[in-house]
C-alpha cells in the first residue's frame, strides 16, 4: 500500500521522524524532491520539557511526521484467539489476524495495554507518548502524523537486501552499523551516522517512512478492516 502524496512547496518535501525514548525524544527532519533522495536537514533532541517548543515548531513546518510510539489506548482488537493488543499490533504480529497473509516486519516488541487493563511500569513511556501525540496534533493541525515502527522497517529492508542481512541485536554497535548501511541507498545521511546511536537511527528511519508516505512511494500499512476495528495503523518502509 502506498501513502497519500503531499503537495510539496516548489517541488520540495519536508518531513520528520520521531523516536520516543524513555529519557528523551529524538527527531530527524528530511527535505528532498519527490524524485530524489531526501537529505537530513535538521536533528533535534528534547529532554523533558526542554526542547518541546522547538520540536513543535519543527513539526509544524513539515507535511508528514512519523512517530515511533502508539498514539493512544483502545479497547483492543475484537478478533478471537489473539493476544490483547491494538488492531495494528495484531495485524503486524499474528499469523491469523483476518488478513490474507502475515505482514513482514512484526511482531512489535511491546503491546499497548487495552483501555482499563493494568499498565505495567515498564510501559510508562507510552503514556508520555500519548501526551506528546496530543500536544503535536493540537498545535500542528496541518501536519499528517502517523505511527511507524523502525524495527519492522529494518526487518523488511534486511530481508530484501541482496544478499539478505541477518540483523544483529539493535543495541549493539554492529547492529546499529547494519541498520545504517540499510538506509544508505535510501537517504543522503550525514557523516558518522553510526555515532548517533540507536535512537537517532530509528528517528531517521521514521523520517524516511514519512518521506515515503509524503511522496507516495513504497510503504506497507498494518491495519484491520473488520467490523469494530479500533482504527490503529502502523506504517513501515516497504
**Range 18-44 average pLDDT:** 93
DSSP 192: T
Residue 7 lies in a domain: no
- What's the pLDDT at 100? 64
146-156 pLDDT, tens digit per residue, is 999 999 999 99
| Helix, strand or coil, per DSSP, at residue 17 | strand
Residue 16 lies in a domain: yes
- The whole model's pTM is what? 0.92
Task: Output the domain CATH number for residue 38.
Answer: 3.30.420.10
Residue 125 lies in a domain: yes
Structural domain boundaries enclosing 104: 12-237
pLDDT at residue 4 is higher than 90: no
- What's the pLDDT at 15? 98
Q: Say how many domains are in the chain.
A: 1
171-193 pLDDT, tens digit per residue, is 899 999 999 999 999 999 788 88
- What's the pLDDT at 6? 41
How large is the greatest C-alpha to C-alpha distance in the chain, in angstroms? 50
* C-alpha cell belonging to residue 12: 520540495
pLDDT at residue 194 is higher than 70: yes
Residue 54 lies in a domain: yes
> Which residues 6+ apart lie within 8 Å of 162 measured at CB?
none
Residue 4 lies in a domain: no
- What's the pLDDT at 96? 60
220-236 pLDDT, tens digit per residue, is 999 988 888 999 999 99
Report yes or no: 143 and 63 within 8 Å, Cβ to Cβ. yes
Amino acid at each position: 500500500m502506498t501513502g497519500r502524496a503531499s503537495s510539496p512547496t516548489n517541488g520540495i518535501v519536508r518531513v520528520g521522524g520521531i523516536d520516543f525514548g524513555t529519557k528523551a525524544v529524538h527527531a530527524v527532519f528530511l527535505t528532498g524532491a519527490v524524485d530524489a533522495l531526501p537529505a537530513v536537514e535538521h536533528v533535534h533532541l528534547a529532554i523533558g520539557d526542554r526542547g518541546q517548543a522547538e520540536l513543535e515548531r519543527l513539526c509544524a513546518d513539515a507535511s508528514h511526521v512519523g512517530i515511533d510510539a502508539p498514539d493512544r489506548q483502545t479497547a483492543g482488537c475484537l478478533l478471537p484467539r489473539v493476544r490483547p493488543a491494538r488492531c495494528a499490533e495484531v495485524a503486524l504480529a499474528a499469523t491469523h489476524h483476518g488478513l490474507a497473509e502475515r505482514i513482514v516486519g512484526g511482531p512489535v516488541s511491546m503491546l499497548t495495554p487495552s483501555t482499563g487493563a493494568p499498565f505495567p511500569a515498564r510501559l510508562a513511556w507510552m503514556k508520555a507518548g500519548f501526551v506528546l501525540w496530543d500536544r503535536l496534533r493540537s498545535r500542528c493541525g496541518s501536519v499528517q502524523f502517523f505511527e511507524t515502527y523502525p524495527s519492522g522497517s529494518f526487518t523488511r529492508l534486511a530481508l530484501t537486501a541482496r544478499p539478505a542481512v541477518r540483523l544483529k541485536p539493535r543495541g549493539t554497535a554492529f547492529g546499529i552499523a547494519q541498520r545504517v548501511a540499510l538506509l544508505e541507498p535510501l537517504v543522503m545521511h550525514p557523516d558518522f551516522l553510526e555515532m548517533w546511536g540507536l535512537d537517532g537511527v530509528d528517528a531517521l528511519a521514521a523520517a524516511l517512512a514519512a518521506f515515503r508516505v509524503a511522496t507516495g512511494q513504497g510503504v506497507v500499512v498494518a491495519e484491520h478492516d473488520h467490523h469494530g476495528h479500533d482504527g490503529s495503523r502502523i506504517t513501515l518502509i516497504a
